[in-house]
Structure 1
Amino acid sequence: MHRVVDLKVLYFGTPVVLIGTRNPDGTANLAPMSSAWWLGDQCMLGMNTASQTTQNLLRERECVLNLPSSALAAAVDRLALLSGSPVMTQHKIEKGYRYEPNKFAAAGLSKLPAELVAAPRVAECPIQLECEVLAAQPFDIGTECTAHTMRVLRAHVAEELIIPGTEHVDPVGWDPLIMKFCEFFGNGRQLHPSRLATAWQIPSPATSR
């Protein structure tokens, strides 16, 4: 038996990405997102058009996509309601976002320089992908989102995740942090309370039964 429902969120389970970009003054910005998918050496990112990350991507034409493991759920959650721009939309203000110029410090994460781009890597993330922006296209009118097409230029992978004698990631050893309906999951279980879910008034699994 199925029931027709008006789903407010369509996050059925996608990896969390910490996007490292460079601000106009040369400082680092770091933003969590999970609207991403990959094919070949390219990926597509869906970002709010007014966000600092989108503005940085359009200006700098590069970034680092840092993929956190499930062990970093608490650090990612500390970024959930932070904005890299002092000018925020009414929507963000209503959700409880606040301006934070030093995202790395707020999250308790460390910067590493990239090799091919000026954007920062996240030292704690087991996988870091240096990327260039190939294209940026607004979504349909009314969504206020931009689709960014990225090409991966260089991949940095923690040694323990590489299958010996190959250049492949061990899919058993790699436990990505997953965003599922605004809640954090890893290894098939819920990991950490989500500030984003609270801000969006999404019922938690414990109270929705």
Structure 2
Amino acid sequence: MNDRHIRIEPSILYFGTPVVLISTSNEDGSSNIAPMSSAFWLGWRCVLGIGSSSKTAENMIRTGECVLNLPSVDEVGAVNRLALLTGANPVPSSKAARGYSYEPKKFEIAGLTQINSETVSAPRAMECPVQMEAVVSAWHGLGEDSPLKGTLSVFEVRIRRVYAAPEIMMEGTRNRIDPDKWRPLIMSFQKFYGLAPKQVHESLLGEIPEALYRSPDVDRAKLESFRI
């Protein structure tokens, strides 16, 4: 067998995930918003990888909530303006070494508009086509068996509300986003990309009715709305 692969040791393994703008509430009632791309979803749950020294992690631990705003390719400028800013003061040494600076008014700097959420105190970013209010279900350290101990955190959040721009919805449906219309901003090896405008191949999984994947967290979120 002729193996054409070579063994490599890349410094990062960011093969490509959607960018998320996480908004949280600060102690004084002001808001923080930060970009990240270490996220994945299962049902109405999301797992987030965040630096432990970040203001976002601090706020999520203190308040137990956040909003996940998903920018499209059209919001890449706003995301980039946030790239080297932090709401943590003083700036953590790891971020200072990478050129970050403290900025308390990140929504304004990014050119994003704060709008009220229904179930959490953190605001949504109006310009993002998808916004999800969430509560923290669990969190723990990442790399606790290594020199990374104490520097990275993994959060599991449960979604309470999902909002979507009408222009990305599937025609004739109430609750389905059309993947042919949704153009998420993707980060791959620290560079921005968008998805191809059309799917590259038909999917057998796409033939399964989406309703069969419905999570019990959806009904839980609806029940909780009467208590808020």
TM-score by length of 1: 0.88
> Partner letter of residue 147 of structure 1?
V
What secondary structure is seen at the aligned counterpart in 2 of 1:146?
strand
> Partner letter of residue 189 of structure 2?
F
| Partner Cα separation in structure 2 for residue 47 and residue 182 of structure 1 | 15
> Partner letter of residue 85 of structure 1?
A
Note if contact 2:32-2:87 (Cα within 8 Å) is conserved in structure 1.
Answer: yes
What secondary structure is seen at the aligned counterpart in 1 of 2:162?
strand
Where does structure 1 differ by over 3 angstroms across 4 or more consecutive aligned residues?
none
| Partner Cα separation in structure 1 for residue 156 and residue 30 of structure 2 | 24
Aligned position for 1:8: 11
Question: 1:160 pairs with 140, 160, 167, which one?
Answer: 167
| Partner Cα separation in structure 1 for residue 169 and residue 56 of structure 2 | 30
Question: 1:48 pairs with 24, 48, 51, which one?
Answer: 51
| Partner Cα separation in structure 1 for residue 143 and residue 9 of structure 2 | 20
Alignment of 1:94-133 (within 5 A): 94-133=97-136
What secondary structure is seen at the aligned counterpart in 2 of 1:95?
coil
| Partner Cα separation in structure 2 for residue 87 and residue 159 of structure 1 | 41
Are residues 1:170 and 2:178 paired? yes
**Larger Cα Rg: Structure 1 or Structure 2?**
2
Aligned position for 1:192: none
| Partner Cα separation in structure 1 for residue 132 and residue 81 of structure 2 | 22
Q: Which runs of 5+ in 1 are unaligned?
A: 190-209
Give the C-alpha shift of residue 59 in structure 1. 0.5
Percent sequence identity is: 46
Question: 1:80 pairs with 80, 83, 86, which one?
Answer: 83
How many equivalent residue pairs?
A: 189
TM-score by length of 2: 0.81
Are residues 1:65 and 2:68 paired? yes
Give the C-alpha shift of residue 140 in structure 1. 2.2
| Partner Cα separation in structure 2 for residue 178 and residue 89 of structure 1 | 26
Q: Which runs of 5+ in 2 are unaligned?
A: 198-228
> Partner letter of residue 80 of structure 1?
A
What secondary structure is seen at the aligned counterpart in 1 of 2:97?
helix
Aligned position for 2:38: 35
Output one character per residue of 1:105-151: Cα deviation in whole Å (capped at 9) or x when no partner: 11111111111110010000000000000011111223211110000
> Partner letter of residue 38 of structure 2?
S
Output one character per residue of 1:146-200: Cα deviation in whole Å (capped at 9) or x when no partner: 11000010100001111133210000000000000000001349xxxxxxxxxxx
| Partner Cα separation in structure 1 for residue 7 and residue 92 of structure 2 | 32
Alignment of 1:140-151 (within 5 A): 140-141=143-144, 142-143=147-148, 144-151=151-158
Note if contact 2:124-2:131 (Cα within 8 Å) is conserved in structure 1.
Answer: yes
What secondary structure is seen at the aligned counterpart in 2 of 1:71?
helix
| Partner Cα separation in structure 1 for residue 171 and residue 7 of structure 2 | 48
Whichever structure has more strand as a proportion of its residues is 1
Note if contact 2:135-2:158 (Cα within 8 Å) is conserved in structure 1.
Answer: yes
Aligned position for 1:185: 193
> Partner letter of residue 117 of structure 2?
A
| Partner Cα separation in structure 2 for residue 110 and residue 48 of structure 1 | 25
| Partner Cα separation in structure 1 for residue 81 and residue 196 of structure 2 | 22
